[in-house]
A and B are shown apart, each in its own frame.
Chain A
Amino acid sequence: MVKVFIYPSTSLILSDMVARFGHTPLSSAIAIRERIQTAGLESPPLQITPEEPKKGLKWAAVEVPAGVRGRMSLYGPMIGDCEAAIVINDADLAFGCMGCARTNELIKFLIHQKDIPKLELNYPKSEEEGVKFVAAIKRFLTDLGGSK
């Protein structure tokens, strides 16, 4: 089983595809779960404490907003751990009430910098594109090997 980083990291489709074809998806839920299940000081709603932006300094400079650094403390370790990545480029849902455009740019940059197998896609917009989308993901994940 290969650890596959998915972007957008909350994606239902990518998370399912990776698990369906026998690998481990690295999604934001796993990073949030770690924090939710760790005792400490109460910091609702996501248990993101003032320590997180400090940890984020590993990936972003001190002038970068704390929001970016705090988010990078969630995603940075997963990007470090991942052995492959699937990126959807037209994912508008990654930016909004919970998302941050600059963090997204940094995540994509770090993935592109890392020497791992990567698959870049757009969301399917028709049935024929859906077939190509699923086939591309299946080919990519099968070629990684070691599926469960």
Chain B
Amino acid sequence: MTEYNPTRVGTVTKYVVVESFDVTPADLALRAYEISQGVMIKETCFGIVINGSDGDVSRIITELRKLDPDHIFVKDRGFPPGDPRRCRANLGGARPGYNGMEHEMTLIPYVSHGLEALKKRDEKSIPQPIIPLERPYLDIQKLKKLIDAQES
């Protein structure tokens, strides 16, 4: 057993993912560098990774969101950028956890559309989505149709 001495203690790391027709990861990185003031920024294929103190990272993210608020998404990350335990430069293949993000990236356009639509519509006027845990009784008319389809 060897001793473990952590690096960059007290910092936070966040992913900024962009799925936009107007803003590229390079645009995000450029804007982030302009206001970074010592914060670590890494450009990736899907956006950027920012590491620094909580206040600095929040400030940069607030500014970056202004570029395209409905198409920029942010989430926390446990490891700092380029950490050899996670960075694919050392491991090869996709970073563990990327597959989940990749799946959600396919759904983000729907979410972005929802965010845009909510600017024009009141959320109270929008019907509830299907509640997955509710199992409604089979409608009698639907049952009749099923029986008819089976018999014909």
Interface residues of A (CB under 8 A from B): 8, 10-13, 15-17, 19, 25, 27-33, 35-47, 89-90, 92-94, 96-98, 120-127, 129-136, 138-139, 142
Q: How far is the CB of B89 from chain A (nearest CB, A)?
A: 15
Residues of chain A contacted by B115 (CB below 8 angstroms): 134
* Set B8, B96, B101, B114: member contacting A124, Cβ < 8 A: B114
What CA separation (Å) do A15 and B17 show in the bound complex?
Answer: 12
- Pair B103/A15 contact, Cβ less than 8 Å: no
Partner of A12, one of B8, B17, B127, B128: B17
Known: A29-B75, A97-B99. A131 touches B6 (CB 8 A): no
Given contacts A30-B76, A32-B78, A33-B76, contact A42 B100 (CB under 8 A): no
- A133 contacts B129, CB within 8 Å? yes
Residue of B nearest to A27 (CB): B76
Within 8 Å by CB of B100, from A8, A130, A134, lies A8
Q: Is B77 an interface residue (CB 8 A)?
A: yes
What chain A residues lie within 8 Å of B124 (beta carbons)?
Answer: 139
Chain B residues touching A, range: 35 or more
Distance in angstroms from B27 CB to nearest chain A CB is: 19
Within 8 A of A (CB), among B71-101: 73-79, 83, 85-86, 96-97, 99-101
In the docked arrangement, what's the CA distance between A13 and B104, Å? Answer: 7
Identify 12 residue pairs between A and B in the complex whose beta-carbon atoms are under 8 Å apart, listed by A's number: A28-B78, A29-B76, A30-B76, A31-B78, A33-B13, A93-B100, A94-B100, A127-B109, A131-B113, A132-B126, A135-B118, A138-B118
The answer to whether B79 touches A36 (Cβ under 8 A) is yes
Residues of A within 8 A of B128 (CB): 132, 136
Contact yes or no, A36 B117, CB < 8 A: no
A15–B74 CB distance below 8 A: yes
Known: A41-B4, A133-B114. A96 touches B129 (CB 8 A): no
Known: A27-B75, A127-B110, A136-B128. A98 touches B133 (CB 8 A): no
